[in-house]
Amino acid sequence: MLQYLKKSAAFGLAAIAGAALALGALDAKPAKAEGTLIWAMPAAMSLFDPLQSCGWLTKNATHMMFDGLVELELGKPEKAYATLRPSLAESWTISDDGLVYTFNLRKGVKFHDGSPFNAEVASWNYDRFLKKDAPQYSPVGAAFLDFYGRWVASTKVIDEFTYQVTLKGPNYEWLQVGQSSCGQPEMISPVAYEKYGEEDIALNPVGTGPFKFVKREIDVMVVLERNEDYYGEAPKLDRIVFRQITDPATRMSALRAGEVHMVTEPTWDEIENVVEEGFTLLLQENVPSVWYAQFNMKNPLLKDVRVRRAINMAINREGIANEILFGTGHAEHGILSAGAFAYDPTYKPYPYDPEGAKKLLAEAGYADGLDLTMEIFDYGWNEAWEKWVQRDLKKVGINLKLSKLEWMTYLGKWLQGMPEDIAMNTMGWGWSVPYWTAHATRCDHHPPNGINGGWYCNEQVDDLYKKAIATQDQSEATGYYREANRIIMEEDVAFLPVFSYHNPILLAPNVKGFVNGQENWYDFTLPYIE
Amino acid sequence: MTRFIFARLLTIIPIMFGVSFFVFMLAHLAPGDVTTTLTGPYATEEVREQIRIKYGLNEPLMVQYGNWVGRIVQGEFGKSIANRRMVAELIFPKFANTAILAVTSAALAYVIGLFVGVFAASRPYSLFDRLAMAGTLMVGSIPPFWLGLLLVLLFSLTLRWLPATGMTKIIDGGYPGDVILHLILPTIAAAAAPAAIIVRTVRATMLEILSQNYIKVARAKGIRRNVILRKHALRNALPPIATICGLQLGYLLGGVLFVEVIFAWPGIGSQLWAAIQARDIPTIQGASLIIAVAFVLVNLAVDVFNAYTDPKIRISEGMRAR
């Protein structure tokens, strides 16, 4: 037996040595293309028709292939919020009454297929979601761009390079509302549309952007390459590869093994170690991404505002930010998202006060506790923060049942609004303009006419929104938004905001120039590989 | 033999109908609707209905099932709603990737299972046997995704011998050596549990056979141990071993999902998961069906193999078919 084991050991060692040599031989081909950035992204992208996709991940590819009239400046991470800059429109003016937007379009711009961009093309793209009798009209596109399109009264081609949009009422946030992931129409080539048709245009994206589409392997990767004829500053990268790796631990392994350059949604508890190994961590505290639970105003147990207030007082938000998120987020007390001009980082009406919460619950008649249900969705975070909320509420006598649903099931239910027996549901969201809170809170946005699924309604708040968008004075608008936020959070207590996320990005040491801007998508014209 | 194969092939038809109906109903009965992601939060019911009509989702379920079966019989898997590509174009390359991983894992599991199992059975309760049994208990108990992580930690991140993720290098990859390199760790991770099961089955079966009188007679005649093991024992142990091997391959074809996820291997499992998340019914149906067909065909192959090696089965099955 011993002899056998010796033989086996010798054979094993020889096999390992042979394998190591063989592995070297198999890996003989050296990697080329130093200008390629590979990003390990956590989920799939949707269609590459900018009018028919609305996800943050997809936006990363579409806003590099397509341009709109204006775009967000995402290269200045030190600012509290991103502002607009010219894109296909070199400049624009707004009439004194705030209704007429005149865009002076850039001359000499060509789509990736060589066809020219001009005001007729801009009009063709706007008609695609505004004009029901246009042959290229897309009902789905119109639904996606509703945030933006609902304000438009008419459009007009003034001359070859001047395009005009007239709004139904003044809304000084309208242009920037168009910068959300389902926002302004990013321009596609009508020539390409003619060639591929409505069904296949999403598989053959042709825009004017700094990168061109190369290939897509569904649920594996998407490859873009630099547009050598781009009218703006040329991207430094030759190629971007958006590689889908759904498992967080696998993304981290791929980064450490040198197989990708960039990881988003890293495992929070590993960030410190990875940074010690020489990788770069980028955080952005002004990204519009507030994670919250919305209270259901129809739930009998939550009818009493003291219960809703007690829930807000019972949560140790700082604990979540530090011990669950490992500093990749900050405690959030309001429903205005960071990264929008009206955001107030000092607004903290709910310091952690479990004793005060207990007292309030007793006053409301729940000294012996109560049972509530919160619907949550699977976001790959293993309901870590929701469990923390559950634990904190337990301490004040509230038994919170977490009802976890797969994302699509959840989204379908979320859009319908909460039934009476559900006390709250969760979401992570935000825009680079404060007006997004209106979508979650306005009286006329109850499902099916909107996404105010908690059935909150306060006409005073609605009036504040109306005033906020109708003034050109940003400090005045800020006052209105902050007052609306105060009413929602302190008088009506319609939400349980928990934290704002800082979108941690880990980069390989040879990636330079990358900016984690104030959005959930990035400007890939900036980075390069050293 | 031809008659036997033909009879077994006929039994596949009702099985496939059953499976396809089950898959179809599951896909449709799951809550959620493809229009939710296709249209966004502000779509009116009218727009959603237009999409349902476009993809035939407004028809009664039985009509939809009939249409689907009609198309499948003609080899037409339909078009993915979420990706707008032909389902066949999506699922067959992914299934091929899964098959590569499943077959190599199964082959590794078979080799380990047979050699270790026979060797352990030939020296029952020896040090080797005890080590092998303890080892298989341990390896068989490790979840494949955990083993995968450990393998990556050792061979990719510490020793830097092997790639951690994917099927090829992203840049300049895809040549055969590259694929083989990427295949090694997922193969080991996926093979571990089946290998453990096969080792134990082979050992138990062989031990039983080695205790039979005819083996004792063979030994008494002075026939060498290797010959007894190979010609007299192993041959008789083959049918149950082949059955368990076939089952393991079947499970691997549908069940390497965890390994695919941990190694970002672009297989059918992750494709099916993505389709479920998007409620992309044509893709869900196509992918499930192809996995089911593979499972059934592998088991058919095992039956044929068993019938070939064991005339008793051939005769009794043949009689039943008559």
Q: Cβ–Cβ of A23/B51 closer than 8 Å?
A: no
DSSP B151-209: HIIIIIIIS--S--SSSS-TTT--SHHHHHHHHHHHHHHHHHHHHHHHHHHHHHHHHHH
Q: Are A178 and A68 in contact (CB under 8 A)?
A: yes
Contacts of B163 in chain A (CB under 8 A): 257, 259
From B79, which residue of chain A is nearest by alpha-carbon distance? A199
pLDDT tens readout for residues B64-105: 888 888 888 888 888 888 888 999 999 999 999 999 999 999
Alpha-carbon Rg for chain B, nearest whole angstrom, is 24
Q: Are A191 and A111 in contact (CB under 8 A)?
A: yes
Contacts of A250 in chain B (CB under 8 A): 164-165, 261-264
Tell me what the mean pLDDT of segment A275-303 comes to.
96
Is the model's pLDDT at A12 over the cut of 60? no
Give the residue ranges of DSSP H helices in A382-445. 384-395, 407-416, 436-441
What is the share, in percent, of chain A residues with pLDDT greater than 70? 93
Q: What is the pLDDT of residue B165?
A: 95
Cβ–Cβ contact A132 with B under 8 A: no
Which of A1, A5, A6, A26 should we substitute to test contact with B (largest number of B Cβ atoms within 10 Å)? A26
Q: Cβ–Cβ of B274/A219 closer than 8 Å?
A: yes
Q: Cβ–Cβ of B39/A144 closer than 8 Å?
A: yes
pLDDT tens readout for residues A178-208: 988 777 789 999 999 999 999 899 999 999 9
Distance from chain centroid for Cα A31 = 33
Which residues of chain B from 245 to 284 reach within 8 Å of chain A, CB to CB? 261-264, 266, 270-271, 274, 277-279
Q: Are A274 and A255 in contact (CB under 8 A)?
A: yes
Contacts of B178 in chain A (CB under 8 A): 26-27, 29
The whole-angstrom distance between B123's CA and the closest CA on chain A is 10
- What are the backbone angles phi and psi of residue B292, rounded to the nearest 5°? -65, -45
Q: What is the pLDDT of residue A512?
A: 95
**Using CB atoms, which residue from A32, A199, A254 is nearest to B84?**
A199
Split at pLDDT 50, 70, 90, the class of B314 is: low
Cβ–Cβ contact A46 with B under 8 A: yes
Split at pLDDT 50, 70, 90, the class of B51 is: confident
Is the model's pLDDT at B288 over the cut of 80? yes
The structure tokens listed for A284 are 């952005």
Q: What is the pLDDT of residue A381?
A: 75
**B185: closest CA among B142, B140, B150?**
B150
Per the model's pLDDT, the better-predicted residue between A316 and A2 turns out to be A316
Size of interface A-B (CB pairs under 8 A): 160
The 3-state DSSP class for residue A456 equals: coil
Q: Are A105 and A205 in contact (CB under 8 A)?
A: no
Sign, Cα dihedral of A448, A450, A452, A457:
negative
**Using CB atoms, which residue from A29, A254, A451 is nearest to B165?**
A254
ipTM for the whole predicted complex goes beyond 0.85: yes
Q: What is the pLDDT of residue A30?
A: 38
pLDDT tens readout for residues B128-157: 999 999 999 998 888 888 999 999 999 999
Distance, in Å, from the CA atom of A20 to the CA atom of A26, rounded to the nearest integer, reads: 10
Is the model's pLDDT at A347 over the cut of 50? yes
Q: What is the pLDDT of residue A2?
A: 40
Q: How far apart are the first and last CA of chain A?
A: 56
Which of B42, B48, B160 should we substitute to test contact with A (largest number of A Cβ atoms within 10 Å)? B42
Tell me what the mean pLDDT of segment B18-40 comes to.
77
Which of A51, A218, A243 should we substitute to test contact with B (largest number of B Cβ atoms within 10 Å)? A218
Least confident of A443-457, A482-496, B32-46: B32-46
Q: Cβ–Cβ of A220/B266 closer than 8 Å?
A: yes
Split at pLDDT 50, 70, 90, the class of B226 is: confident
Q: What is the pLDDT of residue B273?
A: 84
Element (H, E) at A511: strand A511-512
**Angle in degrees, CA B253, B254, B258, rounded to 5:** 105
Least confident of A220-224, A375-379, B160-164: A375-379
**Angle in degrees, CA B245, B246, B248, rounded to 5:** 65
Distances (CA, A) of B97 to A15, B108, B179: 27, 17, 10
Distance, in Å, from the CA atom of A383 to the CA atom of A29, rounded to the nearest integer, reads: 43
The beta-strand segments (E) located in A227-367 are 239-244, 262-264, 280-282, 290-295, 329-331
Q: What is the pLDDT of residue A33?
A: 45
Distance, in Å, from the CA atom of A340 to the CA atom of A139, rounded to the nearest integer, reads: 30
Residue with tokens 């005819």: B214
Least confident of A3-7, A220-224, A442-446, B50-54: A3-7
Least confident of A116-120, A452-456, B145-149, B239-243: B239-243
pLDDT tens readout for residues A416-473: 899 999 999 999 988 999 998 999 999 999 988 888 999 999 999 999 999 999 999 9
Which residues of chain B from 180 to 199 reach within 8 Å of chain A, CB to CB? 180-181
Cβ–Cβ contact B311 with A under 8 A: no
Least confident of A50-59, A333-342, B201-210: A50-59
Contacts of B123 in chain A (CB under 8 A): 1
Distances (CA, A) of A117 to A188, A353, A527, B109, B261: 9, 59, 27, 60, 43
Contacts of B166 in chain A (CB under 8 A): 243, 254, 259
pTM of the model: 0.90
DSSP A30-83: PP--TTEEEEEESS----S-TTS---HHHHHHHHHH---SEEE--S-TTSSS--
Contacts of B30 in chain A (CB under 8 A): 409
Q: Cβ–Cβ of A1/B123 closer than 8 Å?
A: yes
